[in-house]
Amino acid sequence: MRADRLVATLLLMQARGRVTAAEVAAELEVSVATARRDLEALSVAGIPVYPQPGRGGGWSLVGGARTDLSGLSATEARALFLLVGPAADVSGDAKAALRKLVRALPRTFRADAEAAADATMIDSARWGERDRGRPETVAVLQDAVIRRRRVRLSYVDGARNSSDRTVDPWGLVDKDDTWYLIAGTERGRRTFRVDRIVGVVATDDPAERPDDFTLASAWDEVVGRMEQRRSATWATVLVEPRYVPILRDHFGRHVHTGGSGDDGRTRVRLAAPTPLDIARNLAGWGADVEVLDPESVRDELARIGAELSGRYAPGGRRRRDHPES
């Protein structure tokens, strides 16, 4: 995990005072390019790491070599935990490193660092879509979660309805580079796609959060509800084995492979909200995919095929453009 490397790199710098990217690469068994990117990530995140150009240069920590993290400021500690915290959700080693880092901090910094570590989590399972990159509003929302301050949002929902509201930000989730905000509202807990937030302003009003709230548990509930909606229709298809990864890319986690048919094709179960959603995804495959069931998906494919044939078959387009002929 990258977070493990970032922690290891920082501790290596504290022990040696100054390192080169080549030394970090050799110590951590990664490429020099990877080591350089990790050093740059620490610097960009606000950790006091800076390069020394020229012969005999390298990367150094402000203040020289240290054997613990007590030299970090509160802001620097928070920046580090924002980097490491999310990885603890998917890596036991990162979680152990996080506990050690907390104990190494001055007591006055621990609450802020722990809040930063809990402000964000990662869910690497895809929902069958690629994202648009990290929205600029993430940093503002992270800060509000950590400081427990309310934010005013201008939001556009999936139906393109705009609204302005003030919410209590409870946590952020990075799901395969798509960000979600879980927040308390006057109507209870709500989940917002961050890329649909067109404006955000942090206020000085304190945010309220239930004492028993945990980001991981709340996200599990969100995923459970979403999965129910996204998997309302299941279909069984036959496809050549080499196409299975492409189906996984299209349908995300809603792909389960079974045995093989007599012709060597793989039996795959896949799901989407409606039969039409499945048919639309499979229509472009033509005869490369055979849908065995249900009939509703087969019917939608037949309808789509008839529409395409009527428009694009020889003479069909001409009749549409020239009805008098």
Q: Helices 92-104 & 74-84, crossing angle to 10 degrees?
A: 170
φ and ψ at residue 30, rounded to 5 degrees: -130, 175
Task: Supply the mean pLDDT for the chain.
Answer: 79
8-state DSSP, 47: -
- Alpha-carbon distance of 311 to 319, in angstroms, equals 9
8-state DSSP, 32: H
Judgement on whether residues 35 and 110 belong to the same structural domain of the protein: yes
In a domain, 94, yes or no: yes
Judgement on whether residues 114 and 141 belong to the same structural domain of the protein: no
Judgement on whether residues 26 and 91 belong to the same structural domain of the protein: yes
Pick the closest to residue 258 from 242, 243, 241, 273 (CA basis).
241
The total number of structural domains that make up the chain: 3
pLDDT computed for residue 98 by the predictor: 60
Judgement on whether residues 244 and 181 belong to the same structural domain of the protein: no
In a domain, 36, yes or no: yes
Judgement on whether residues 31 and 110 belong to the same structural domain of the protein: yes
The pLDDT confidence band at residue 288, using thresholds 50, 70 and 90, is very high
Label residue 70 exposed, middle or buried (CB < 10 Å: 0-12, 13-18, 19+): exposed
pLDDT average, residue stretch 20-38: 86
- In percent, the amount of the chain with pLDDT more than 70 equals 71
Judgement on whether residues 9 and 55 belong to the same structural domain of the protein: yes
Judgement on whether residues 253 and 183 belong to the same structural domain of the protein: no
In a domain, 105, yes or no: yes
Residue showing tokens 């934010």: 151
pLDDT average, residue stretch 53-77: 62
In a domain, 320, yes or no: no
C-beta pairs of 245-252 under 8 Å, 24+ apart in sequence: 249/128, 250/128, 250/281, 251/128, 251/281, 252/125, 252/126, 252/127, 252/128, 252/129
In a domain, 81, yes or no: yes
Judgement on whether residues 112 and 176 belong to the same structural domain of the protein: no
- Alpha-carbon distance of 87 to 273, in angstroms, equals 31
SS3 185: strand
pTM of the model: 0.49
Judgement on whether residues 93 and 163 belong to the same structural domain of the protein: no
The pLDDT confidence band at residue 108, using thresholds 50, 70 and 90, is low
pLDDT average, residue stretch 140-157: 92
Higher pLDDT, 200 or 225: 200
Instruction: Examine the fold and report which residue of 214, 247, 280 is the final residue of a domain before the chain moves on.
Output: 214
In a domain, 130, yes or no: no
In a domain, 123, yes or no: no
Q: Which amino acid is at 90?
A: V
Judgement on whether residues 98 and 62 belong to the same structural domain of the protein: yes
- Alpha-carbon distance of 167 to 152, in angstroms, equals 6
Judgement on whether residues 183 and 251 belong to the same structural domain of the protein: no
Asked if pLDDT for residue 270 goes beyond 70, the answer is: yes
Domain boundaries, position 91: 2-118
Judgement on whether residues 246 and 206 belong to the same structural domain of the protein: no
The pLDDT confidence band at residue 203, using thresholds 50, 70 and 90, is very high
Instruction: Examine the fold and report which residue of 179, 214, 249 is the final residue of a domain before the chain moves on.
Output: 214
C-beta pairs of 37-44 under 8 Å, 24+ apart in sequence: 38/2, 38/5, 38/6, 38/9, 39/9, 41/6, 41/83, 42/6, 42/9, 42/10, 42/80, 42/83
- 292: tokens are 């065995």
In a domain, 159, yes or no: yes
Pick the closest to residue 108 from 80, 144, 72, 84 (CA basis).
72
Asked if pLDDT for residue 245 goes beyond 70, the answer is: yes
CATH number of the domain to which 105 belongs = 1.10.10
CATH number of the domain to which 249 belongs = 3.30.70
